[in-house]
Amino acid sequence: MTESSSPKPVLTVEGLRRTYGESVAVDGLSFRVNPGEILGLVGPNGAGKTTTLRSIAGILPIQEGRITVAGLDIDIEGHRARQHLAWVPDDPQPFDSLTVEEHLELVAGLYGTTDWKRRREDLLESFSLKDKRRALGGELSRGMRQKLALASAWLSEPKLVLLDEPLSGLDPRGIRTARQAIQDIAASGVAVILSSHLLELVEQLASRLLIIDYGKKTFEGTLEEAHTGFEIPMGSSLEDVFFAATRHEAGDKPG
């Protein structure tokens, strides 16, 4: 592919470094995500996945490095950049005193969603939230909060979706719906980062992988490239790749 025909990345992360006091959570991380791509972000507990996602979402101020979303620098044009992204945290906390449909109306207003009433109805239907439309945020179960966060993200018509353990708490029907919804939104050209410890899910959905450990990238590429890179048999699972690409024992910190 020539340079001129390469897709313009929706997200660029260059040299991202984040510390909490003395502790380094993300250490010089660089990667890109193109339109329509699902990037599987995996790594052990404490590897820096959530810190990376929170930095991209503009929740954590950038200490070092540069992030652009749809060509906009998150540190300089944060407000405009955030209009293009949707962030689904692993334990979403809706407003206690707004109903499900009021949350969706709020999101539609904030993001200027067109034809939002019809889209809201479709999302309430597909995420099985129709009978909870008048329930308050504070009354929702964990799985329902997750579904509301996914529906809100979809309603905002983003160019980039950040998903942190999006299936945790969902029932089997919710899992099937969310899995299909992730595939569909990517097929429509939206860039997706899927961070999860559910390696089978990541293997199934992700077009490319980013494996991090101790805040550093240990692998970026397709599963097939990982087989070659780590010299493990072709056809090995992402779980095999994960163990090859990350520390072998907890606390076995390098350097």
Contacting positions for ligand ATP (CB under 6 A): 20, 23, 25, 43, 45-51
21 or 233: whose CB is closer to ligand ATP? 21
Cβ 164 to ligand ATP shortest distance, Å: 7
- Write down how long the chain is: 255
Q: What is the DSSP string of 42-109?
A: E-STTSSHHHHHHHHTTSSPPSEEEEEETTEETTTSHHHHHTTEEEE-SS----TTSBHHHHHHHHHH
The answer to whether 162 touches 131, Cβ cutoff 8 Å, is no
Cβ 51 to ligand ATP shortest distance, Å: 3
Q: What three-state secondary structure class fits 19?
A: strand
Cβ 136 to ligand ATP shortest distance, Å: 28
23 or 114: whose CB is closer to ligand ATP? 23
Cβ 131 to ligand ATP shortest distance, Å: 32
- Helix and strand counts by DSSP (H, E) for the chain: 9, 10
Sign of the dihedral through C-alpha 102, 107, 208, 250: negative
20 or 249: whose CB is closer to ligand ATP? 20
54 or 103: whose CB is closer to ligand ATP? 54
